[in-house]
Amino acid sequence: MTTRDEKIEIQGACDKLAGTLITPGMLVPGVLFVHGWGGSQQQYLVRARKVAGLGCVCLTFDLGGHAATKEQREQVSRETNLRDLTAAYDRLVEHPSVDPSAIAVVGSSYGGYLAAFLTTIRPVRWLALRVPALYIDDGWEVPKLQLHKDQDLRAYRRNFVAAGRNGALRACAEFKGDVLLVASEHDDIIPPAVIESYREACVQAKSLTYRNMTGADHGLTQEVHQRAYSALLLQWLAEMFASARRDPDTGPEPAIAAAEAATGAGEAVHEPEAPPMAS
């Protein structure tokens, strides 16, 4: 194993002492989790701990307008939340053990939508989107809650949207890393047309792994679906990290994830999403 040496000074009893700090030379991937609208980082802590067991550094955080800043809920916009996400990304890559060229972003619903935009302003190697939301580009700086009053999102989401007509989809069309896209069979918030729009947009992705979770709803309210998604995400990330280590110059090979085999595996993680119309 390669190592890194760092010359340091230690304040001794009478004087400063010279020392050498020796650490493992291999940097590890970083994984950033982005919760959905109305959620919080608490939904991802158990799952993030499991992912960290793969040998990476994970970061969960609360978007503005949620948890401790819930009083700002009526003021935050997509623009402010994207700035929140960018700040969280920057904090993650500052960690001395994180390889800035090996960052994965895992987003659900509104968090998945924001994650797509993040790929246009920060380097992202792996992008995992579960039931990503879709919004009309207009009103980017308008409070997010106002969008449901100003825009007919239900009608917009019922139809396929070409990548050139939506900012998040354009971001996906330009993304050249690996993508995991997960849908829920009984999703009453994100209809199949939205998932198909994201799927068709990923034209330059290095690999695209798509899974539709049978019987699952938007918020994965049943524990069996929580377990299945956790196992699916773990398997996909493990394959991405392993292939990156095998072939660091060309990047990871296409992932082969089997959601069917994951059902019932892993630990249940309650991840209730916001009620209908909140995403």
What does the block give as tokens for 261?
């085999």
* pLDDT value of position 276: 40
E strands along the chain, which residues? 3-11, 16-24, 28-34, 57-59, 98-108, 126-130, 178-184, 207-213
pLDDT at position 17 is 72
> What is the phi-psi region of residue 25: left when phi exceeds 0, alpha when psi lies from -120 to 50, beta otherwise?
alpha
**Residue 158 resides in a domain:** yes
Residue 174 in domain: yes
**Which of 3-17, 42-56, 165-179 ranks highest by mean pLDDT?**
165-179
**Assigned domain for 13 exists:** no
Any domain includes 148: yes
43-102: pLDDT as tens digits: 899 999 999 999 999 999 999 999 999 999 999 999 999 999 999 999 999 988 899 999
Kindly report, residue by residue over 57-66, the tens digit of the pLDDT. Answer: 999 999 999 9
What's this model's pTM, rounded to 2 decimal places? 0.85
Q: Are 39 and 131 in contact (CB under 8 A)?
A: no
Q: What is the CATH number of the domain that holds 52?
A: 3.40.50.1820
pLDDT tens per residue across span 236-276: 999 999 988 776 554 433 333 333 333 333 333 444 444 44
Q: How many domains does the chain have?
A: 1
Domain that holds residue 152: 27-262
Q: What is the mean pLDDT of the chain?
A: 87
Residue 162 lies in a domain: yes
Calpha distance 56→232 (Å, rounded)? 17
Does residue 42 carry a pLDDT above 70?
yes
* pLDDT at 153 > cutoff 50: yes
268 or 214, which is more confident: 214
Give pLDDT, residue 5.
78
166, 137 in Cβ contact below 8 A? yes
Say what the pLDDT of residue 98 is: 92
> What pLDDT was estimated at residue 19?
74
Which pLDDT tens digit goes with each residue over 104-124? 999 999 999 999 999 999 999
- Residue 128, in any domain of the structure: yes
Q: Is the pLDDT of residue 156 over 80?
A: yes
What is the pLDDT, as a whole number, of residue 8?
72
Q: 57-59 and 98-108 as β-strands: parallel, antiparallel, unpaired?
A: unpaired
Q: Report the pLDDT averaged over residues 213-227.
A: 96
- Confidence at 23, pLDDT banded by 50, 70, 90: low
At residue 24, the pLDDT reads 65
Sequence-ordered alpha helix ranges (H) in 110-258: 110-118, 144-150, 153-157, 167-174, 192-201, 223-246
Query: Does a structural domain hold residue 237?
Result: yes
Q: What percent of the chain has pLDDT over 90?
A: 72
Q: Report if residue 122 sits inside a domain.
A: yes
Instruction: State the helix-helix crossing angle for 110-118 and 78-93, rounded to 10 degrees.
Output: 60
Asked if residue 205 has pLDDT above 70, the reply is: yes
pLDDT the model gives residue 268:
39
Give the residues across from 31 on adjacent strands: 58, 104
144-153 own/partner pairs: CB under 8 Å, 24+ apart? 144/37, 144/65, 144/76, 144/77, 144/78, 144/81, 144/110, 145/73, 145/74, 148/277, 148/278
Residues 6+ apart with CB under 8 A from 238: 54
Has residue 18 got a pLDDT over 70? yes
